[in-house]
Amino acid sequence: EVKGDSMIDAGIHEGDLVIATRTSNPRVGDIVIAEVDGGWTMKYFRKKGDQVYLEPANKDYKDIYPEYDIKIAAVVTGVVRKY
């Protein structure tokens, strides 16, 4: 279940359920579920040269550059919304 609003411009809202495929090898542009420096998040997977970072889909949030470690757990493949 999604918590927060960092992916609202991708159509993913708080309370939505995401369907994800476990993988540690995402493609650039995939929406991933990742552990970054000990905390979990869902963002777009991006690269600048060899630098991996995560990009939110909400202009109110900044890109996340891991300080120590990033582990990609899954790639989001679908969203379910209950009304």
What residues are labeled active site? 6, 43
| Cβ burial 23-60 (10 Å sphere, 16+ → b, else e) | eeebeeebbbbbebeeeebbbbbbeeeeebbbbbbeee
